[in-house]
Amino acid sequence: MSGQAGAADAENGEYLFKTICAACHSIEPDSHRTGPSLHKIWGHPAGKAEGFDYSAAFKGAAADELIWTEENLDKFLRRPRSVVKGNKMAYLGLRDDADRADLLAYLKRMSQ
């Protein structure tokens, strides 16, 4: 379910986050699992969660000052390897455009 056409649905995004991403990520500040906390990830620099041991690939992205803009997050979630080559996020990507828009809407809401 992705709600009305054109309107991203943060509720479905929350459901997707809890069923897919929460296995490795928390949205709470400073709470790292296999992956870093995604607290306020929207609009923030990549690879900068305090206390998380990123891969060399992510440290490189941070050094290149990659920012999690809507465009970059969308590309990353569609195909994580396409944005940060060699990263260790063991997730192939969310190919469904409507689901990805919903997930982005949830991440944006949680970053405000």
Binding residues (CB under 6 A) for ligand HEC: these are 20-21, 23-25, 34-36, 38, 41, 46-47, 49, 54-55, 57-58, 68, 77, 87-91, 94, 103
Within 10 angstroms of residue 69's Cβ, the number of other Cβ atoms is: 12
Cβ atoms of 101 and 7 closer than 8 Å: no
Least gap, CB of 109 to ligand HEC (angstroms): 13
From the CB of 7, what's the least distance to ligand HEC, in Å? 20
Q: In sequence order, which residues have a C-beta less than 8 Å from that of residue 12 and are 6 or more positions away? A: 1, 2, 3, 99, 102
42 sits in the region (left: phi over 0; alpha: psi -120 to 50; else beta) called beta
Which residue, 7 or 88, has its beta carbon nearer to ligand HEC? Answer: 88
Q: How many CA atoms lie within 13 A of 40 on its CB side?
A: 8
- Of the pair 58, 105, the CB lying nearest ligand HEC is at 58
Report, in Å, the least distance between residue 46 CB and ligand HEC: 4
CB of 18 to ligand HEC, least distance (A): 10
